[in-house]
Amino acid sequence: MDSVFCKQEKPLKARILSVLFLVVSVSFLFYTKESILFRVLFLILSLIIFGYSISYKINRDFNNQKFFSVFGFPVFKTKLNLEYPDYISVFSTSFSLNNEWGAVSAIGTKERSPKIVVRFFTGNKNFTLYKTEKYDKASEKANELSELLGVEIYDRSKE
């Protein structure tokens, strides 16, 4: 194994809004009398928004990359500047987002989502590589990264 891919999960709001945008564009395609070119471009844009994802590729030689993909096909990649980790940590945490805009504020002022996180730690710096709701997935990614890079894992998720 020469590399490990860590595909980032979309936040709940992004998933809901992308599905809503896709439904509107499909209905716009069939139920309006606008130019067909405009309707098709609107549909293509909504498909791109619906299918985009971001992944990190961690390589054995630590020449890491960040991939921007649409439906799993890489469209654009950049260099991911990370410091080599002293250790990898797996732990559970809760992320909160403000819901202070539009109709989303009706569900409350904060959205809390519990996650299991895989982070690189170098000194007092850290970088979140992977977030998921499933412990098994996070543990598997951490083990793959530990084997690839030869660094120790600290699993604090059960504490």
pLDDT tens digits, residue range 48-100? 999 999 999 999 999 999 999 999 899 999 999 999 999 999 988 776 666 55
Total Cβ atoms within 10 A of residue 61: 7
Q: What is the mean pLDDT of residues 98-127?
A: 73
Indicate the pLDDT class of residue 129, thresholds 50, 70 and 90.
Answer: very high
Tell me the per-residue pLDDT of 16-40, one tens digit each, with 9 for 90 and over. Answer: 889 999 999 999 988 888 888 999 9
Cα–Cα distance list, 18 to 13, 22, 47, 48, 147 (Å): 8, 6, 8, 9, 36
Question: Domain map of the chain by residue range?
Answer: 1-81, 82-159
Query: Which residues does 151 contact at the CB level (< 8 Å), separation at least 6?
Result: 85, 86, 87, 88, 145
% of residues, the chain, pLDDT over 90: 61
Which has the higher per-residue pLDDT, 126 or 99?
126
Token look-up 């109709």 returns 103
Is the predicted pLDDT of residue 106 greater than 60, yes or no? no
Q: Which two tokens stand for residue 139?
A: 């543990």
The burial class, CB within 10 Å (0-12 / 13-18 / 19+), for 115 is: middle
Kindly give the pairing relationship between strand 110-122 and strand 73-79.
unpaired
Whether pLDDT at 143 is above 60: yes
